[in-house]
Amino acid sequence: MSEVTYDLLRARGLTTVFGNPGSNELPFLSGMPDDFRYILGLHEGAVLSMADGYSLVTGEAAFVNLHAASGSGNAMGALTNSVYSHSPLIVTAGQQVRSTIGQEVMLSNVDAGTLMRPLVKWSSEPTCAEDVPRTMSQAIHTALQPGRGPVYVSVPYDDWAAEAPAETARLLDREVHGAAALSGGQIGDLIDLLEGATNPALVLGPAVDADHANAHAVQLAEKLRAPVWIAPSPSRCPFPTRHPSFRGVLPAGIADLSQTLAGHDVILVVGAPVFRYHQYVPGKYLPDGARLIHITDDPGEAARAPFGDAYVAPIANTLDVLATMVTASDRAPLAPPADFPEVGSTGSGLDPAHLFALLRGAAPHDAIYVNESTSTGDAFWAQMDLSQQGSYYFPASGGLGFGLPAAVGAQLADPHRQVIGLIGDGSANYGITALWTAARFKIPVIIVILKNGTYGALRGFSKILNTGETPGLDVPGIDFVQIAEGYGVRGSAVDTAEDFTTAVKSALAAGEPTLIEVRTTFGQS
């Protein structure tokens, strides 16, 4: 059974396995062919996030192998990010021998099919050994169909020694094609709405970047001469940040978002939920006189939205058709962007905005940024020049522990573009073991730790919620350079602009995993 399953994985391009094994997984792993590679992580949360980063960059499915219920449970926090980034992860776990599961012996995955629900798109344990390959095939196709997302399969370890039915070979060349698109009438209605708008606005989400549709979005914005915002809580960058149409990231509160869009009569949201709010700032969903149209490839996003008219359709195809067919507007062209804000640092440590400005000057123009410095978002978007597809990733559900291992997985996926992880010192500890994997597999990722000794995002929320000083907000006394060196990663600590720039240039030239610990101003990372 394991042989035909590996044939199936090979046929689907799933020859990289991210995992942390336990005893239940050994019978499957013992048969791994030579053309597969096993990327070992030291904690299941880091394993899942490495696979997530790898999948986000490749745009393809990634295969994850975890240990029973305990290992799967360790990965579930990281899995929340994969759900909302629509990452097609095939998450598998070993199970005890079939005849002993009901006894709940040690390392049983009790009621395995329900363990990951409701997070995953689909979850199953095959009813018999002969159904393992078909179940794995169903998992792969389900993960990759719109809207994409992770799936989970638990396999009793004695199944791998069973004989596969001869007809199983039919799974190897089977394809499942998606062909939905908007009708001519629906496209016509959308074009009439956009062309008839007095002051249209575009709001773009992560699915635009994921579907390689950024150029189509630029063409549509230019023809409409419309401003463009990124939907709140962005996990990707779907539009060039120095384009004249770019207006930044929408705020994540209802009233604030509505106020930002005031004056627009037609708001076209593409590739994002409506909306991923965060701070509870109640108010009207839309400004007076505005109509919202929502285009998404995820039926769930369309169904759960509390307002607006939704179309479920492929993102790239729909944007391409709209951008090609809409008539160019005669509205005045939008002004080019202003110069980057002047920034600097005073006193001890670097201001985060200053750090990002320095990084913009030193890093390659096509660098990929994986950001988990959760309270420096405004400074990041104000200072960075992101113009290429697939340049930015952030934990899609806000779950910490994504950033550092996802940066490792992203660099493994694309060795031709430099990946730079921007990680707050609070969140770094959730996925720190990924440094070992970077060292073990010689993955030349650069990790920048923004160190201020506190959970900066929580301090920001303490002001919003008016909670004052509460326990558990500070994390002083961590030496990330020593930790990195202990895992086999070169590291340095800096606290001045000159030293930071020197450290970045040295890391770029080194061609090996590098950690740079940067002391930043208090309350910013």
Alpha-carbon gap, residue 361 to 380, rounded angstroms: 13
> Of 3, 23, 178, 348, which is the active-site residue?
23
44 counts as catalytic: yes
For 20, the token pair is 């942390």
216 counts as catalytic: no
The 10 Å CB-count burial string (b at 16+, else e) for 224-238 is bbbbbbbbbbbbbbb
> Of 22, 41, 308, 421, which is the active-site residue?
22
The string of DSSP codes covering 333-385 is PPPPPPPPPP----SSSB-HHHHHHHHHHHS-TT-EEEEE-TT-HHHHHHH--
> Of 67, 141, 264, 294, which is the active-site residue?
67
Alpha-carbon gap, residue 253 to 83, rounded angstroms: 22
From the number of C-beta atoms within 10 Å of its C-beta (0-12, 13-18, 19+), residue 482 rates as: exposed
Say which DSSP state 454 is in.
Answer: B
> Of 196, 212, 263, 278, which is the active-site residue?
278
Say which DSSP state 438 is in.
Answer: H
> Of 2, 19, 41, 44, which is the active-site residue?
44
* CA-based nearest residue to 151, from 230, 221, 66: 66
- The sign one gets for the Cα dihedral 8, 11, 13, 15 is positive
> Could you give the angle at the alpha carbon of 265 between the alpha carbons of 259 and 269, nearest 5°?
80
From the number of C-beta atoms within 10 Å of its C-beta (0-12, 13-18, 19+), residue 196 rates as: exposed
For 136, the token pair is 């794995």
* CA-based nearest residue to 137, from 230, 327, 273, 6: 6
* CA-based nearest residue to 425, from 476, 468, 389: 476
Tokens 């914005």, residue located: 221
Alpha-carbon gap, residue 103 to 384, rounded angstroms: 56
278 counts as catalytic: yes
Question: At residue 458, what are phi and psi to the nearest 5 degrees?
Answer: -70, -35
> Of 2, 19, 25, 517, which is the active-site residue?
25
22 counts as catalytic: yes
Indicate left, alpha or beta for 189 from its phi (over 0: left) and psi (-120 to 50: alpha). alpha
264 counts as catalytic: no
- Compute the chain's Rg from CA coordinates: 24
23 counts as catalytic: yes
Alpha-carbon gap, residue 171 to 153, rounded angstroms: 17
Catalytic residues: 22-23, 25, 44, 67, 278, 398
